[in-house]
Structure 1
């Protein structure tokens, strides 16, 4: 079993999303007697290429079959290497902190780079299809406030936006089942209790993963 663990927070040991994911993986590995390989893709230390003119040029030339420039080819090789880590995975696990009612921009950069036609999905001009064959993914969402707190404001924040996009994307590329959970109140006086409870819930979900 090969697990692709995607780290989207830059906070290292202070990251709640990473801590809950690690609790999940520790229980999962214990449940399956330590078998399985974890491939950690940290979007902050991976030195992801910019999704710039070379990347976009390579994308369109790859679809059309045109020859790439040396710079485009070098960028496309890095993109293909990122996609290969998804292609080699049997499971995907990631933690997603909420930033300004969305997710860290580095996660979007990873998605924009790796999620390419012919690498993670197909398109025949009419219909999209997945290229991965992954049974399960686990996602933990963390946020400093709660959804209930948003109901007290005139402009309710979009708490559902993060989960809707991330889970759509996972299914789009070929993940059949997504298990998700949320840890809230990570900024206030309830933070320690909520984080400990999140770790316990994640460990319980790992036993069924």
Structure 2
């Protein structure tokens, strides 16, 4: 079983999301010795810019037009990233909340790999799945707690979990579970510690389901 482990925090060992998803990976490896892990950290991966040159290379490749050396290099890198999704049997994705959404490097990865006929299809009328990944788990950390009826309802402020969960379903994840860790960092250090511990417990409760 190949697990694509996507990390989107730049804080390495100081990151709560990485700490929690690493614990989940360790539990998976302890439970099933055939697990292999492909760790994709969006900050250390040296992602190519999806700039005018990359977009031009994409359109040339789609149309079957010859690419120059620079275009070939960037399109090859994009195809390599796409291939890591295509090879995955499971996806584990951890993301902190930045400005009510996701870190910009995670969005950069999505913009690079979410190419028509590679991670999704579109016939002019409707979108279809290009992958078939049985299960994924998303782990979200944030400093606040967004509750309907409060001054900061999720329906207005949470542009993190809804977007990523939607995107994973769009590309072909059939069964998705999410663990949200609220108040992971705030002025009350004890509250944050308890929240992270609870999030870890809830995440690890999904190991058997994830591997089955």
**TM superposition score category, shorter chain reference:** over 0.9
When the two structures are superposed, what TM-score results if normalisation uses the length of structure 1? 0.92
The answer to whether residue 164 in structure 2 is matched with residue 147 in structure 1 is no
Task: Name the SS of the counterpart of 2:80 in structure 1.
Answer: helix
Q: Report the equivalent of 2:184.
A: 186
Q: Say if 2:86 is the partner of 1:97.
A: no
SS class of match (2:138): strand
Q: Which moved more, 1:124-133 or 1:37-46?
A: 124-133
Say which SS state the counterpart of residue 158 (structure 1) adopts.
helix
CA contact (8 A) 1:145 1:184 kept: yes
TM-score (norm 2): 0.91
Partner of 2:65: 66
User: Is residue 205 of structure 2 the alignment partner of residue 204 of structure 1?
Assistant: yes
What SS is found at the alignment partner of 1:85? helix
The secondary structure found in structure 2 opposite 1:79 is helix
* Structure 1 unaligned residues grouped into runs of 5+: none
1:11 match? 11
Task: Name the SS of the counterpart of 2:39 in structure 1.
Answer: strand
By how many angstroms is 1:181 displaced? 0.9
What is the Cα deviation at residue 156 of structure 1? 7.6
Over 3 Å counting, the alpha-carbon distance change for 1:110 and 1:184 in structure 2 is: same
Distance 2:154 2:161 in 1: 16
The more displaced of 72-81 and 143-152 is 143-152
- Specify which structure has the bigger relative contact order, considering alpha-carbon pairs within 8 angstroms and separated by 6 or more residues: 1
For structure 1, which segment, 17-26 or 191-200, has the greater mean C-alpha deviation from structure 2 after superposition?
A: 17-26
Partner residue in 2 for 1:158 = 156
Residue by residue, what CA displacement relative to the aligned partner does 1:26-66 show, whole Å, maximum 9, x if unpaired? 2222222x321000001000000001111110121222222
* Aligned 1:45-124 pairs, distance under 5 A: 45-124=44-123
Alpha-carbon contact 1:9-1:18 (below 8 Å) kept: yes
CA distance in 2, matches of 1:56, 1:195: 40
Q: Does 1:25 align with 2:63?
A: no
1:151–1:46 distance in 2 versus 1, CA, 3 Å: same
Match of 1:133 in 2: 132
Contact 2:101 2:158 in 1 (8 A): no
